[in-house]
Amino acid sequence: MSEAVHHGYGIYWKTWIWLLVMTTLALVVGSVDAMPGGLKALLLVGITLAKVGVIGAFFMHLRSEKLDLVLITFTPIILAIIFYFFIWWDAGDSTSRILTLR
Amino acid sequence: MEATIGEQERILASPWGGGSNPFGTSWGKFMMWIFIVSDALTFVAFIIAYGFMRLTAPAWPAQDEVFSMYLITFMTFALISSSCVMAIAVGAAQQGRKSEAVKYLWLTIIGGTIFLGSQAYEWYHFIEEGARLWFNPFMPEVPQFTAAFFVMTGFHGFHVFTGLVLLLYTVIRAHMGKYTGDRVEIAGLYWHFIDVVWVFIFAFFYLL
């Protein structure tokens, strides 16, 4: 029983280690000034999505939930991100304009 | 009438029909997931708005000159660690190990309190240096910087505070013996969501 329990928690400690490794990686990427902005953004987005995937799969147990739950969780968020970019050409600078007009 | 019910049963039995428990979760857990999705959409809006502001701003202050990156890293460490012990608390609660669950819940609360305290410290110094929602003392022509900072970290900080209240409620109920693994897991889902939001703010606001 005790062994089974420790085995059950081991996955969380491993996840924690991986999250710390990825956080360190993100810090390193963020601190390199010589890196082109586009590459830096791409790497940071990649690391962030990997971290979120790990937290979702292991801490929030999405890997053992039904696929239906995973789909209704991520679909609205992905669609929202796509839809927001549709307004970029019309309203991309509106937030900045409101602030600088003041 | 008979035919109608038969038709309904045929639809419910299909893979996308649902049946009595389409998502295989308790109603409480499912409602928490629905809440998390809606709350995530709020933060998506903040982060996209921040991205738009960042792309249209004439310049942007160097974050490591404005903030202490040591403090930010420490805060990130505290929140990720609290998320890890929260996951263990959920595991313990689901196995019916109450004392262990309570211990790890308290550790989660300590981690969250450290994060919130550090954030209060950060805000205090930032405001003392002259930063306001509409004014950026480090680069006055870019008020977007402080506006994004206060709105994003403010909303996130308030979520951490709410999460701490929820965790305190859960741990007090656990001390009273009125707890179930499912309830602890629901509180845990919210706590991990707060961690997820911070991962985005950490990468896009502080590092990029």
Hey, what long-range contacts does B134-138 have (CB within 8 A, 24 or more apart)?
A: B134/A99, B134/A102, B136/B61, B138/B61, B138/B65, B138/B66
Task: Note whether A69 and B33 are within 8 A (CB).
Answer: yes
Task: Note whether A15 and B195 are within 8 A (CB).
Answer: no
Question: And the tokens for A43?
Answer: 């790497």
- pLDDT tens readout for residues A46-84: 999 999 999 999 999 999 888 889 999 999 999 999 998
The per-residue pLDDT for A3 is 42
Which of the residue ranges A35-39, B168-172, B179-183 has the most confident prediction, judged by mean pLDDT?
Answer: B168-172
CB contact under 8 A, B53 and A99: yes
Over residues B83-93, mean pLDDT: 94
Interface-testing mutation among B30, B41, B42, B52, with chain A (most A C-beta atoms within 10 A): B52
Listed residue (B67, B69, B92) closest to B181, CA to CA:
B92
This prediction's pTM: 0.89
**A55 interaction partners in chain B (CB closer than 8 Å):** 83, 192, 195-196, 199
Question: How close B196 gets to chain A, by Cα (Å)?
Answer: 6
Task: Note whether B38 and B195 are within 8 A (CB).
Answer: no
CB contact under 8 A, A55 and B192: yes
The per-residue pLDDT for A4 is 44
The per-residue pLDDT for A101 is 61
Average of per-residue pLDDT values in chain B: 90
CB contact under 8 A, A48 and B200: yes
Nearest-by-CA chain A residue for B143: A99
Over residues B145-163, mean pLDDT: 96
Nearest-by-CA chain B residue for A96: B53
Q: Of A66-75, B10-19, B47-56, B137-146, which range is least confident?
A: B10-19
Phi, psi of A39 (to 5 degrees): -65, -40
Question: How close B3 gets to chain A, by Cα (Å)?
Answer: 29
**A8 interaction partners in chain B (CB closer than 8 Å):** 91, 95
The shortest CB-CB distance from A59 to any of B48, B56, B83 is to B83
Over residues B111-119, mean pLDDT: 97
Residue A18's CB: how many other CB atoms inside 10 A? 14
DSSP string, B185-197: HHHHHHHHHHHHH
> Which residue spans within chain B are E strands per DSSP?
none
- What residues contact B159, with CB distance under 8 A and at least 6 apart? B39, B194, B197
> A 38-77 residues with CB below 8 A of B?
40-41, 44-45, 47-48, 51-52, 55-56, 58-61, 65-66, 68-69, 72-73, 76-77
Residue A29 binned pLDDT confidence (cut-offs 50, 70, 90): very high
Residue B18 binned pLDDT confidence (cut-offs 50, 70, 90): low
